Structure 1
Amino acid sequence: MTTATPLLEARALTFLRQDEPVFGPIDFALHAGEIALVEGDNGSGKTTLMRVLTGMLRAGGGEVLLEGTPFALDEVAGEVVFLGHQLGLKNDLSPRENLALAQALYGRREGASLAAALVEVGLGGYEDEPVRRLSAGQKKRAALARLLLLPARVWLLDEPYANLDREGIALVNRLIDAHAARGGAALVTSHGAVSFAGEAPRRIRLHA
């Protein structure tokens, strides 16, 4: 059993809507090299949990810790990256320009390259196409390229498999496995079954 400080930890975390609990209290700790899969039916609070963890929603109780310290998202720019249903892309910019903007704001992971990230996610030849002209799957790939480029150790991925074909799903799994192998950690929500090349992820089950 590991005694290292978790990269991300939730303690007695709850969220209320109109004084009714959406989830919680829940406790979990996510350590370096660990993947955790958040499971639950529609309405169980998976997306809400992600937004609470990022600080986009205020928790009803409990706390969230980053490497043992309470945090707010604006205080940890570059250390935590969130990929949600809204992909955070500017439609009038190209994938290359979107990545350059993210890199300018949050830095670049050691050894990472903007051009290589776009090729790895399958956007070779589409680097300079305005995002608004890309398909839903290509837009998701452009957002995934940001994961490869930024130095964040904690990934919060809300339905990262949406709008992707089988090859795209395999790509997401490769990215997550490689991130964990580098000492990062990922919290992933998904409606469907997910397989990883590495060790099976821990399950965190939410109930509506």
Structure 2
Amino acid sequence: MQIEGPNGAGKTSLLRIISGFARPDEGEIHFSGQSISDNYDEFAAQLLFIGHKTGVNGQLTAYENVCHWLRVHGCHVDKRAYDLLSLLGLVGLEDVPVRTLSAGQQRRVALVRLWLNNAKLWILDEPFTALDKKGVKQLQTRFAEHLAQGGAILLTTHQDLTTHFTALKTLVLEYQF
């Protein structure tokens, strides 16, 4: 599902509420038939949230950030870290502190998590920010793979999805004065 709307309409706020990072003024958020407030740990285990900010450690290198996420997800740090960096066009930049990379390169480092995580629900706030056309296409291909494996994606974007997603639903938020 894609959430659309002008700046200030509440897209990010809605994603934060759905993710359990903020509380709704009214009602409850349910996942798999249960209120997330009653069983947040189980919900969180099925959630991958990537927000506006990249969530990478700028002091670490791209390689160190990927190694950290591999460990967090219970994977061995081996050749896989370099394979992921290569996949995302970051080979040659693996030993550079992330803070010195371009915005698009930093976004790519952040998006490595989409290839590491087995979460069923991805909530992504403006995932295409700062990506070039190749990066957008690659990300949409990853979306299609995740959906084909039974996953779900809730995202905000000001860009049109260029890959045809047959089950795409759109929620349009309007700014109220």
After TM superposition, the score normalised by the length of structure 1 is: 0.74
What's the CA shift string for 1:115-173, capped at 9, x where partnerless?
Answer: 32222222122222211111100000001111111121111011111111111211221
The AA in structure 2 aligned to 1:162 is T
Q: Mark the runs of 5 or more structure 2 residues left unpaired by the alignment.
A: none
Identify, as 1 or 2, the structure richer in helix.
Answer: 2
Change (3 A) 1:135 1:49: same
Q: 2:6 aligns with which of 30, 41, 54?
A: 41
The AA in structure 2 aligned to 1:195 is T
How many residue pairs were aligned? Answer: 169
Equivalent position of 1:59 in the other structure: 24
Equivalent position of 2:127 in the other structure: 160
The answer to whether structure 1 residue 121 and structure 2 residue 92 are counterparts is no
After TM superposition, the score normalised by the length of structure 2 is: 0.86
Identify, as 1 or 2, the structure richer in strand.
Answer: 1
Secondary structure at the aligned position of 1:61 is classed as: coil
Q: Mark the runs of 5 or more structure 1 residues left unpaired by the alignment.
A: 1-35
Bigger RCO of structures 1 and 2 (CA < 8 A, at least 6 apart): 2
**Where does 1:93-132 land on structure 2 (aligned, <5 Å)?**
93-107=60-74, 113-132=80-99
C-alpha deviation, 1:200, in angstroms: 5.2
Percent identity, please.
37
Q: Say what the alpha-carbon RMSD is for the aligned residues.
A: 2.0
Equivalent position of 2:105 in the other structure: 138
